[in-house]
């Protein structure tokens, strides 16, 4: 089901409640005092937060309903572990946990195979990361995670990179109200350097010095990728003649390049 539909997992998103900061604090106090219904209120009151998070994952081919359910698991973990004594907004604490839960789900369903040892290191690092988030109410650095694991920083980085889910080259990474910037826009293309561009112009200029048959042979051979035999059949001459004309044409072109 698409994200812009009203119903997701049977939940009418247009009727989801929104809790103020004071209401959130009061309900958290009730939950921590043993009121089980307060936890349900907190979950329902923060489902819009889950919806806002899963929008960044909707272009990966996953069902939105599945992402929403996984995001709700992250939300419940955040609710159960949130510390009121810390001067941190609940959304600031919950969003990384929701994202982490969704990323774990996507990694587990990743079609790219990763070795068991790398996966074990990565999951241990993620567990340490969650523990440090709970402890400090902030995102830990890689150095802190590596220190807890007593492992070199490079090994932790390598393991975490190995289980990252692949992304589309057409995934938008920035949007300022105009045309979006995609991943592919940030990737260099060594085939499109100025030197190659100028070389292409030089080739075209040199080909203009050839007669029509020579142009045809070089076009079929080097631009359409045909064999000399295929070229010979197409223009009605022998392969030996194609070979001779091709060599003569290339030699002629070199004078103008």
Residue 255 pLDDT exceeds 50 = yes
- Calculate mean pLDDT across residues 18-46: 87
Residues with Cβ within 8 Å of residue 77, at least 6 apart in sequence? 97, 101
What pLDDT score does 17 carry? 75
What pLDDT score does 112 carry? 59
Residue 120 pLDDT exceeds 60 = yes
Residue 5 pLDDT exceeds 50 = no
pLDDT digits (tens, 9 = 90+) for 64-84: 888 888 999 999 999 998 888
CA distances from 222 to 3, 40, 199 (A): 48, 68, 15
Residues with Cβ within 8 Å of residue 156, at least 6 apart in sequence? 121, 125, 142, 145, 146, 149
DSSP letter at 192 equals G
User: Which of the two residues, 104 and 115, has the higher pLDDT score?
Assistant: 104
1 band by pLDDT with thresholds 50, 70 and 90: very low
Q: Which residues pair with 7 in a beta bridge?
A: 12
What pLDDT score does 178 carry? 59
pLDDT digits (tens, 9 = 90+) for 85-105: 887 888 888 888 898 888 888
Phi, psi of 181 (to 5 degrees): -100, 125
CB 230 within 8 A of CB 220: yes
135 band by pLDDT with thresholds 50, 70 and 90: confident
Q: What distance in Å separates the CA atoms of residue 224 and residue 234, rounded to the nearest whole number? A: 13
Model pTM above 0.75? no
CB 142 within 8 A of CB 156: yes
Q: What distance in Å separates the CA atoms of residue 235 and residue 213, rounded to the nearest whole number? A: 9
Q: What distance in Å separates the CA atoms of residue 128 and residue 131, rounded to the nearest whole number? A: 5
Residue 113 CB burial class (10 angstroms; 0-12, 13-18, ≥19):
exposed
User: Which of the two residues, 203 and 90, has the higher pLDDT score?
Assistant: 90
Average pLDDT, the chain: 79
Residues with Cβ within 8 Å of residue 46, at least 6 apart in sequence? 19, 75, 79, 90, 91, 94
Q: What distance in Å separates the CA atoms of residue 1 and residue 18, rounded to the nearest whole number? A: 23
Share of the chain above pLDDT 70, in %: 75
CA distances from 111 to 147, 156, 163, 207 (A): 31, 22, 11, 47
Residue 4 CB burial class (10 angstroms; 0-12, 13-18, ≥19):
exposed
191 band by pLDDT with thresholds 50, 70 and 90: low
Domain ranges of the chain: 190-254
Classify 190-254 by CATH class: mainly alpha
Residue 229 pLDDT exceeds 60 = yes
Residue 4 pLDDT exceeds 50 = no
Q: What distance in Å separates the CA atoms of residue 32 and residue 26, rounded to the nearest whole number? A: 10
- Calculate mean pLDDT across residues 49-66: 80
Q: Identify which of 50-59, 105-114, 194-203 has the greatest average pLDDT.
A: 50-59
Residue 147 pLDDT exceeds 90 = yes
Q: What distance in Å separates the CA atoms of residue 111 and residue 14, rounded to the nearest whole number? A: 35
């Amino acid at each position: 089901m698409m994200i812009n539909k009203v119903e997701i997992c049977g939940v009418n998103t247009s009727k989801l409640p929104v809790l103020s900061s004071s209401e959130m604090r009061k309900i958290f106090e009730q939950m921590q005092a043993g009121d089980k219904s307060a936890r349900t209120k907190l979950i329902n009151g923060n489902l819009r937060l889950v919806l806002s998070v899963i929008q960044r994952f909707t272009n990966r081919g996953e069902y939105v309903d599945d992402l929403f359910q996984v995001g709700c698991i992250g939300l419940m973990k955040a609710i159960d572990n949130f510390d009121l004594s810390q001067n941190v907004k609940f959304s600031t604490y919950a969003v990384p946990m929701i994202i982490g839960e969704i990323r774990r789900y996507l990694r587990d369903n990743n079609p790219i195979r990763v070795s068991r040892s790398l996966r074990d290191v990565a999951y241990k690092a993620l567990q340490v990361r969650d523990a440090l988030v709970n402890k400090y109410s902030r995102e830990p650095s890689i150095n802190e995670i590596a220190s807890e694991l007593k492992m070199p920083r490079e090994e932790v980085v390598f393991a975490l990179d190995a289980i990252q889910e692949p992304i589309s080259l057409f995934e938008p990474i920035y949007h300022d109200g105009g045309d979006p910037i995609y991943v592919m826009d940030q990737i260099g293309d060594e085939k499109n350097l100025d030197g190659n561009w100028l070389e292409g112009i030089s080739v075209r200029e040199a080909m203009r010095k050839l007669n029509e048959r020579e142009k045809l042979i070089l076009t079929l051979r080097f631009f359409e990728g045909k064999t000399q035999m295929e070229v010979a059949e197409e223009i009605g001459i022998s392969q030996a003649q194609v070979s001779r004309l091709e060599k003569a044409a290339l030699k002629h072109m070199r004078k103008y390049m």
